[in-house]
Amino acid sequence: MRADRLVAALLLMQARGRVTAAELAVELEVSVATARRDLEALSAAGIPVYPQAGRGGGWSLLGGARTDLSGLTANEAQALFLMAGPAASAAPEVKSALRKLLRALPQTFRAEAEAAADAVVVDPARWGERDRERPELVEALQNATVRRRKVRLVYEGRSREQTHRLVDPWGLVDKDDVWYLVAGTEAGQRTFRVDRIVDAAVTDLTFERPEGFELSQAWGKVVNEMERRRSLLSATVLIAERFLPVLRSQFGRHCEVVGTEDDERVRVRVAAPMALTIAEQLAGWGSRVEVVEPDDVRAQLARIGSELVERYRT
């Protein structure tokens, strides 16, 4: 991303005092022409950057000036440290980055930002479980994403068939400890489960993200499409209001209250891909839930109940 390069160029000039377009190109892994355009863009934006021609010349900050690269308000600084702080305990790189950013903040922001970094701890393991580790390929894919390098994947689909693909890694998403790679392919944007990637080889081929691409928006569209597929069939059920939070935790966003009954029960619409899926999720409720419609779900519940009675009759 160009903004990343511009900040990196400023940091490099502050660290070295003077830098040539060729040196910047090597550091940022871009062409000399791109590096020169970035330096000119900084100057055009009003930052006191100027070129000096001749032997030993290059680009410098006027008078050795330094710029506050954080540009954060007090609330923004607190929010950033609240989000990144929990990761620092597991990632030394994050802890080091937070320390450097803390020194760059105005003195009035530092105390609250430092407190925010230590205000939250994230324990990824449920009770009685070990910590869940992320897939080994995540780090390699993340590096390829940051460095804008194409990746050759060996991917195993649901049918166990393996395919070979050359993709542009646009971003990674961690959804409830399941990692996904959002990537560009010859057929357009595709999403790959990282735990189904058999092998990933980072190439020297570069790519650019599509103009205006934002990972959060792209992932939002993926989620909406998946949720649409998961909600192809709906059922109306009656349940005591006190049990509603548990039912919502089961069906997530596919649980909607549509009315109330005279007997203090609520009328709820739940959804899933198939009648069997809904019945399987409701079977454990026994008589606490009454399915009003459709008949397919009622029939599946009756079948499940008959099978359980037959098996455990004795």
Dihedral of the alpha carbons of 65, 70, 72, 76, in degrees to the nearest 10:
-170
Among residues 161, 200, 159, the alpha carbon closest in space to that of 183 is found at: 200
Backbone angles phi, psi at 272, to 5 degrees: -165, 170
DSSP annotation of 254 = G
- The alpha-helical segments, DSSP class H, found in 58-208 are 74-88, 92-104, 107-117, 137-147
pTM for the whole structure: 0.52
Per-residue tokens: 248: 């919502």
Q: What is the largest CA-CA distance in the chain?
A: 96
Taking residue 219's Cβ as centre, other Cβ atoms within 10 Å add up to 17
Q: What is the pLDDT along the chain (314 residues), one digit of tens a residue?
A: 455 567 677 777 776 778 888 888 888 888 888 888 888 877 776 677 777 776 767 888 765 555 555 555 566 666 666 666 666 655 666 666 666 666 666 565 666 666 666 665 555 555 666 656 677 888 889 888 888 999 999 999 878 889 999 999 998 888 777 889 999 999 899 999 998 999 999 999 999 988 888 888 888 888 888 877 766 788 999 999 999 999 998 888 889 999 998 888 999 999 888 899 999 999 999 999 999 999 999 999 999 999 999 998 87
List, in order of start, the domains of the chain with CATH numbers.
2-64 (1.10.10.10), 74-117 (no CATH), 137-227 (2.30.30.520), 231-311 (3.30.70)
Q: How far apart are the C-alpha atoms of 9 and 116, rounded to whole Å?
A: 29
